Amino acid sequence: MEKNPLDGLMTQLAKFPGVGQKSAQRMAFFLLSIPGKDVHAMASTMVDTRQRIRYCERCFNISFEKTCSICEDSNRDRSLLCVVSEPKDIFAIERAGQFKGNYHVLGGLISPIDGILPESLRIKELIDRLKSESPSEVIFAINPTIEGDATILYLTKILSSFDVKLSSLAYGLPVGSDMDYADELTLQKAFQGRQGL
Amino acid sequence: MITKLWLKDFRNFGEVLLDFKGKSNVFIYGENNQGKTNFLESIFFLGNGSSHRESKNENLVRFDTALSYIGLEVSKDDQKHKVYFKILKDGKRLGTFNQQLLNSTQLLKEHLNVEYISSDVIKTFQESPDYRRDVLNRFCGVLFSEYTATLQGYNRIIKQKNFQLKNIKKKESIDYWNDQLIEYSYKLITMRLKALVQMETQTKKFVAPIFPDFYESLIIGYSYHGIPLDSFTEENYKETLKRVLGDVFDKEKDLGFSIVGAHRDDFFLNIKKKELKRFFSRGINRSLSFFLRLAQIEIVSEQTGLRPTLLLDDPFAEIDAKNKAAIINVIDTESQIFYATIFKTDAQYFKKPAIIKIDTGGVECG
């Protein structure tokens, strides 16, 4: 009996995050159903993007150029520096449209279990930027996990000698959500971070 | 109250259908290795959606069959509810509550409060601090809604810190783990102390009629491992722990793991300032460990408003007849009790019990 001709394609597609065998099969049949030129465009875009993408020399966001579009944008507020773990965090913050400053991507969070120690992160580069750009505020937009908190604690100590305001994002209830569904720790944090009206 | 029980090919049983209507005490006797614990296990499974001692389905299903069924009828507030489980040897298990498929154990927990106490209860004060921490963590996890998440966070901090201690190359600070460890440790201990106060009060209530001499001097206390602490206040604890963590840093680095914090603490039960394990007989140890367990069940049932069904698997070995009678008398009469033992004569301690004899998986009523 002939081997399933889609096996090779499905194996590759199943490497995408969140894609299992069933989804991979659906995607494979979808690729068969669309015109060949579209498949070609998809594949060549993937290869081209992968080859051309690089890290911004200043903030380590992903970019096709030496510096990313955010760093190049002269309208952004240079006095605010938002420290994030990964480039994808920048995309999330940019979608909200609230923050108009610049970013710095650490490239992970301190996690010895995964072999990530402080020296593996782009902390030296962050310090260099503080010296050269002298922002007035550094905002940590880092996930509220044990590793995220450890990273913030570490950075707070390292950066405390600089004349810069340090802040981190507030914890609390998601907008539009029901308090009934909030977990206990989130509610605790929301109470701790309550604001006067 | 559980009014009916049905087993089919569960463990060493064939098909069994029992009616306990109107019987708050069910007395089960039989020789060793006949199936008394298996019988209690089936009730525990139906109340909790899992066994207290076995995670593999293949060991729950009778050896020559592919699947087993268990079910019970429980009456609560004049309403009858039916719980069934189908357990397949290949690993699947399906539960229903009033013919509604169970996706979680929530519905079971709302209608049944089945607790199991075996002769192992004596281990509470005989085993290592690890064992007692598990006992305390489980209890706090039920009592305080934020405890389990806090404990998970704490364990994560310890795991990360230990990993870093093992791989530390030079004298570098690990304050970013220790600072979090202090916060989480404080939160955990705050809840643990509240739980111990409740446990002490309730245990004393059980102890009073049987061991009146012990009532005044019985203390359940908390041991802070390696931390000299005269009183527990937030400031005192956090400052002391920070100082101790600094002092033991080199030792922790040499050992490669963290040696102070909530993960090393313990609790104790003293009577007349004497440690239970070292200065009292096994009979007293067993009685007080039993009361401590019963106290936990009582506290939780007061919180949930759901009286427990107690599965007692011969927890009173080594206890003399007089005290055995007195202890059984102390157990709340509003709870339904399933009591399994090798001693047929123990039936005399119960008021009008249903009597069940178990013999090589065969069940006989009468």
For B175, the closest of A112, A113, A157 (CB atoms) is: A157
pLDDT at B280 > cutoff 80: yes
Chain A residue at shortest CA distance from B150: A185
Chain B residue at shortest CA distance from A145: B153
Q: Does B176 contact A147 at a Cβ distance shorter than 8 Å?
A: no
Which pLDDT does position A174 carry in this prediction?
A: 85
CB-based contact B155:B242 (threshold 8 Å) = no
> Which residues contact residue A106 at a Cβ distance below 8 angstroms, ignoring those fewer than 6 apart?
A83, A84, A85, A121, A122, A123, A126, A151
pLDDT band at B258 (very low <50, low <70, confident <90, very high): very high
For B146, the closest of A149, A153, A188 (CB atoms) is: A188
Which pLDDT does position B366 carry in this prediction?
A: 63
Chain B residue at shortest CA distance from A148: B176
Token pair, residue A39, equals 């498949």
Residue A89 forms part of a structural domain: yes
d(CA A147, CA A174): 22
Which pLDDT does position A1 carry in this prediction?
A: 59
Which pLDDT does position A123 carry in this prediction?
A: 96
Which pLDDT does position A181 carry in this prediction?
A: 84
Residue B94 to chain A, least CA–CA distance (Å): 25
| Number of domains comprising chain A | 1
Task: For residue A111, give the DSSP letter.
Answer: B
Interface residue A96 vs chain B (CB under 8 A): no
Which pLDDT does position B181 carry in this prediction?
A: 97
For A153, the closest of B145, B161, B179 (CB atoms) is: B179
> Which residues contact residue B106 at a Cβ distance below 8 angstroms, ignoring those fewer than 6 apart?
none
Residue A55 forms part of a structural domain: no
Q: Does A146 contact B157 at a Cβ distance shorter than 8 Å?
A: yes
Residue A3 forms part of a structural domain: no
Mean pLDDT of chain B: 92
Interface residue A92 vs chain B (CB under 8 A): no
Q: Does A153 contact B149 at a Cβ distance shorter than 8 Å?
A: no
The whole-number mean pLDDT for each consecutive block of 10 residues of chain A, a chain of 197 residues, reads: 85 94 95 95 96 95 95 95 96 94 96 92 96 95 94 94 93 85 82 86
pLDDT at B170 > cutoff 90: no
Residue A127 forms part of a structural domain: yes
Interface residue A182 vs chain B (CB under 8 A): no
Residues of B with CB under 8 A from a CB of A: 145-146, 149-150, 153, 156-157, 159-161, 163-164, 167, 173, 175-177, 179-180
Residue A14 forms part of a structural domain: no
Strand residues in A42-171 grouped as ranges (E)? 54-55, 62-63, 77-84, 101-105, 137-140, 165-168
pLDDT at B172 > cutoff 80: no
Residue A139 forms part of a structural domain: yes
Q: Does B176 contact A157 at a Cβ distance shorter than 8 Å?
A: yes
Mean pLDDT, range B212-228, rounded to an integer: 93
pLDDT at B270 > cutoff 90: yes
Which pLDDT does position A186 carry in this prediction?
A: 84
CATH code for the domain in which residue A106 is found = 3.40.1360.10
Which pLDDT does position B91 carry in this prediction?
A: 84
Burial letters B227-260, b for 16+ CB under 10 A, else e: beeeeeeeeebeebbeebbeeebeebbeeeebeb
Residue A156 to chain B, least CA–CA distance (Å): 10
Domains of chain B and CATH, by start: 2-113+307-365 (3.40.50.300), 128-279 (1.20.1050.90)
Q: Does B167 contact A184 at a Cβ distance shorter than 8 Å?
A: no
Which pLDDT does position B171 carry in this prediction?
A: 63
Instruction: Choose, out of A113, A146, A168, the residue to mutate when testing the contact with B (most B CBs < 10 Å).
Output: A146
Q: Which residues of A touch B141 (CB under 8 A)?
A: none
Which pLDDT does position B77 carry in this prediction?
A: 83
Residue A195 forms part of a structural domain: no
Token pair, residue B226, equals 């390696």
Q: Which residues of A touch B175 (CB under 8 A)?
A: 153, 157
- Between A60-64, B121-125, B360-364, the lowest mean confidence (pLDDT) is in B360-364
- Between B62-66, B190-194, B200-204, the lowest mean confidence (pLDDT) is in B62-66
- If phi > 0 it is left, if psi is from -120 to 50 it is alpha, else beta; for residue B262 that is alpha
Is the sign of the CA dihedral A15, A19, A22, A27 positive or negative?
negative
pLDDT at B140 > cutoff 80: yes
Interface residue A149 vs chain B (CB under 8 A): yes
Q: Which domain holds residue A82?
A: 76-168
Interface residue A157 vs chain B (CB under 8 A): yes
Q: Which residues of A touch B145 (CB under 8 A)?
A: 184
Instruction: Choose, out of B176, B187, B252, the residue to mutate when testing the contact with A (most A CBs < 10 Å).
Output: B176
pLDDT at B25 > cutoff 80: yes
CB-based contact B21:B2 (threshold 8 Å) = no
d(CA B73, CA B96): 12
d(CA B142, CA B199): 13
Question: pTM of the entire structure?
Answer: 0.86
